[in-house]
Amino acid sequence: MSLSLLKPEIETILSSEETVDSKLENICHVLKQNVKHYDWVGFYFKNGDKPELKLKTYAGKPTDHIIIPFGKGICGQVAVSNENFLVEDVSAQDNYIACSIDVKSEIVIPLFVNGENIGQIDIDSNTANAFTQEDKNFLVWLNAEVAKLY
């Protein structure tokens, strides 16, 4: 499926009268259900003034990683670097926090509001080398749209 086909559905969710948390939860479920290689989809946000991320919502298997310190794992590194991070093979990463033994690749895209990194979308795939430039471009677009909620 071309990810651009999901844009109208995402825009409908974002323009709905639901709460921000419900919108984010619905986005996670739409992505997981419609994109074959998205096995876990979640949004992490900066946890107040603490140097850590807190999981807001997700779709996929439960995770123990509700809180992630800045600098730890892929998500924690993105919180510090403010850059997109695509990992083709998580087993090759020294600073990787395993959510599941099934995860083979991961993509994390920061979410900026007024130039500040306030959170990120994190997607795990049970397929190695799962993510492409299309995934990256789509997720950058998605986060720019989500940022308008804040």
Q: What is the mean pLDDT of the chain?
A: 94
pLDDT tens-digit map of 105-117: 999 999 999 999 9
- Give pTM, 2 decimals: 0.95
Sign, Cα dihedral of 19, 115, 57, 135? positive
Higher confidence at residue 98 or residue 71? 71
Contact, 148 vs 68, CB < 8 A? no
Superfamily the domain 3-147 falls into: GAF domain (3.30.450.40)
Q: CB within 8 A of 53, min separation 6: which ones?
A: 44, 45, 46, 47, 67, 68, 69, 70, 75, 76, 79, 119, 120
Rounded distance between C-alpha atoms, residue 32 and residue 58, angstroms: 9
pLDDT tens-digit map of 81-106: 999 999 998 777 766 676 677 889 99
Rounded distance between C-alpha atoms, residue 28 and residue 30, angstroms: 6
